[in-house]
A and B are shown apart, each in its own frame.
Chain A
């Protein structure tokens, strides 16, 4: 009886797991399969006659390809550098310097993060950027995305820096290193795994941003892929599923490749050197 119940328990367990996997897995499976299908189909189906025609059609759409290779790259790369650099320096200061109220500062940052990029803030954000004369410029979009993501990035980064024992830096200080040497030789290599996490995360956020570039950019040749994808809709507003899925796959690939590259090159690992 107990054995049977145990068996039943594991059956339910695997059933549940299978459901969860299907829920998240099926859309991904569709994303991989649909672009190679010769007929438009919203369900997951293994293509009967696999074809590359969809990609050929997408490559011919100069507007969409320009968005992917130019606008997206500019926005994502600059945002990534901005967020990673600023959040690292800020988090380092918040973690190491004895500033009164630095914990409150960190937590209130967390609150702000959901406000700045939120839909509700779009009007004031638009007005600010407009006054700055940065409407229809990459810089405006980059600044807003950086500002919106920084608080969360600082929060994550600070947690990471807090986890690194101070004695590494103190040891360098006692050895006679200048503050700049301590940062460059010791602190920076130690926080690098954290910076890589932030970089990937920031890149993904900027790469997928829709609302901010949509509101702040005007010229069609500056729009990123998230908005350019609408060029695969007919004038009546119905999407061409084959082309949308092919473009979506192209849109996803750089992020995956970037993640794999970072993971291979730097690895999210941490060598020991502190005896606990």
Chain B
């Protein structure tokens, strides 16, 4: 059990800067996700915490100790790899027991602890098999068991679910979260799947090109993305981002020829004047925060219908506003008959405004 503090952590491979001045504090017992597209530096960050990569600059503290230059052995961490890395020449029993063997635990105690852990994870009956003889989901549990068996102070997960099919992934997600809550061990979890990060983590750091774009609880990062990148990365489909013009005096935005009045919205009226009159802004609104109208109504803007996709409990409508695609999520199980031209009313309380450089203004 320990907190993790990363200070000005950077890693360069030749001229490529993979991780750029990352500052993060991960609380004791927290489930922390590093989320970002592939190649953003999240795995490199995790590997630096594990001690598999040496930082170019910056420091890593685990607990109250400076671990920057320590070997992986001294860090007392456990890691689950994306490919599980179960040793093919050892049985599952030997695999799970390996960290204990390395730490000099005797064979009897080793067997007892492995049996206990593997029974807890539901793979107790597989101990005599080899990794090549069990399924992907079982391999994943064996890899988790190997990480859990020796009580490390930190768990590191490198996309452990990306090799599983959709159904197994969903099951494993619940299993991992439950396990973490039970053991209360500080966990750093790398993923490119925003749904996975949202579902599992207490807090998420969204990484973009080696830099931390935003840190916060799943609700915070989902409802109030600080940058256009975060807004477009989270959610499925992600947040709609529409170019608009802002009228500072009337507190109105102009989209596709229509005016939407924002005088009743506290975050807009209380906004510090960081924008100039008539400035081009980007309006962000989640697909579930838009209502559809067949006719023009106050506070709406027009859009062309593109396609509707019924998804069972909800319907996903894709439209075009001028040249920009936009999606609307309707919570109905009946696909509606929609005219070619519809009117959209965004929930004013949910509207976010970004500058064209991607930063949130209100």
Interface residues of A (CB under 8 A from B): 165, 167-168, 170-178, 181, 185-186, 189-190, 270-276
Let me know if B63 is at the binding interface, CB within 8 A. no
Q: Are A175 and B81 in contact (CB under 8 A)?
A: no
**Given contacts A167-B83, A273-B86, are A175 and B78 in contact (CB under 8 A)?**
yes
Stretch at the interface among B95-103, B238-246, B306-314, B343-351: B95-103
A36 nearest CB across to chain B (Å): 44
CA of A168 to CA of B82 in the docked complex: distance in angstroms?
11
**Given contacts A189-B89, A271-B89, are A175 and B98 in contact (CB under 8 A)?**
yes
A172 nearest CB across to chain B (Å): 7
Set of chain B residues within 8 Å of A178, measured between Cβ atoms: 73, 102
CA of A177 to CA of B78 in the docked complex: distance in angstroms?
12
- The number of residues on chain B lying at the interface, defined by a beta carbon within 8 Å of a beta carbon of chain A, is 32
B148 nearest CB across to chain A (Å): 12
- Binary A-proximity of B121-160 (CB < 8 A = 1, otherwise 0): 0000000001110001001100000100010000010000
CA of A272 to CA of B51 in the docked complex: distance in angstroms?
26
CA of A175 to CA of B85 in the docked complex: distance in angstroms?
12
Q: Is the interface of A mostly helix, strand, loop or mixed?
A: helix
Let me know if B88 is at the binding interface, CB within 8 A. yes
Q: Kindly identify which residue among A172, A186, A275 contacts B84, using a CB–CB cutoff of 8 Å.
A: A275
CA of A186 to CA of B102 in the docked complex: distance in angstroms?
12
Q: Are A168 and B85 in contact (CB under 8 A)?
A: yes
Which chain B residue shows the least CB distance to A167? B85
Q: Are B72 and A176 in contact (CB under 8 A)?
A: yes
Q: Are B83 and A174 in contact (CB under 8 A)?
A: no
Interface residues of B (CB under 8 A from A): 50-52, 72-73, 76-79, 81-89, 98-99, 102-103, 130-132, 136, 139-140, 146, 150, 156, 163
CA of A262 to CA of B361 in the docked complex: distance in angstroms?
71
**Given contacts A172-B98, A173-B73, A174-B52, are A271 and B85 in contact (CB under 8 A)?**
no
CA of A215 to CA of B77 in the docked complex: distance in angstroms?
59
**Given contacts A173-B73, A174-B50, are A273 and B85 in contact (CB under 8 A)?**
yes
Q: Are B77 and A274 in contact (CB under 8 A)?
A: no
Which chain A residue shows the least CB distance to B163? A275
Which chain A residue shows the least CB distance to B71? A173
Which chain B residue shows the least CB distance to A169? B85
Q: Are B88 and A273 in contact (CB under 8 A)?
A: yes
Task: Report 20 cross-chain contacts, Cβ distance below 8 Å, ordered by A residue.
Answer: A167-B85, A170-B81, A170-B85, A171-B85, A172-B98, A173-B72, A174-B77, A175-B78, A175-B98, A175-B102, A175-B146, A176-B76, A176-B99, A176-B150, A185-B87, A270-B88, A271-B89, A273-B84, A274-B88, A275-B136
Set of chain A residues within 8 Å of B83, measured between Cβ atoms: 165, 167, 274-276
Set of chain A residues within 8 Å of B77, measured between Cβ atoms: 174
Q: Kindly identify which residue among A172, A173, A271 contacts B88, using a CB–CB cutoff of 8 Å.
A: A271
Given A167-B82, A272-B132, 10 more A-B residue pairs with CB atoms under 8 Å apart are A165-B85, A168-B87, A171-B79, A174-B72, A175-B102, A175-B146, A185-B98, A189-B87, A190-B88, A275-B136
CA of A276 to CA of B136 in the docked complex: distance in angstroms?
10
B97 nearest CB across to chain A (Å): 10
Set of chain A residues within 8 Å of B156, measured between Cβ atoms: 174
Set of chain B residues within 8 Å of A271, measured between Cβ atoms: 88-89, 130-132
Q: Which of B79, B102, B136, B146 has the most chain A CB atoms inside 10 A of its CB? A: B102
Q: Are B102 and A177 in contact (CB under 8 A)?
A: yes
A53 nearest CB across to chain B (Å): 50
Q: Are B72 and A273 in contact (CB under 8 A)?
A: no
B151 nearest CB across to chain A (Å): 12
A160 nearest CB across to chain B (Å): 14
Q: Are A273 and B103 in contact (CB under 8 A)?
A: no
